Amino acid sequence: MTKRIALALVFSAIAGSCQAATVSVDQKGLSFDKTDLTVNKGDIVSFNNSDNTSHNILITGEGTSINGGLQQPGQSFMAPFIKSGTFQVTCAIHPKMKLTVHVP
């Protein structure tokens, strides 16, 4: 089972059990379309690569470290935010891409 399939199964289980909302964040022009985002505990953020280059989502904070792996143009990476706190999202390839996610 690949890492992405395993993550998808976990995300599906979380989404089904708590009726999580899915919030979209677009990646285009080597930036996120938001710099600051607040989501509810259990919500899923879909990082959509609308750019013409690859990206690699990194999420850190509150004891969390998620590496989304290489994301080709046109692909999405979905990440559940199941803990309260403040999380930093960057691109491992383009470190100037930054987003702060708050989960009350």
Residue 6: predicted pLDDT: 46
Distance of CA 68 to the CA centre of its chain: 8
Q: CA 97 to CA 89: how far, in whole Å? A: 8
| Per-residue confidence (pLDDT) for residue 89, from 0 to 100 | 98
Task: Say what the pLDDT of residue 4 is.
Answer: 55
Average confidence (pLDDT) per 10 residues, the chain, 104 residues: 51 58 98 98 98 98 94 98 97 97 98
Q: Domains along the chain?
A: 3-103 (2.60.40.420)
Rounded to two decimals, the pTM is: 0.81
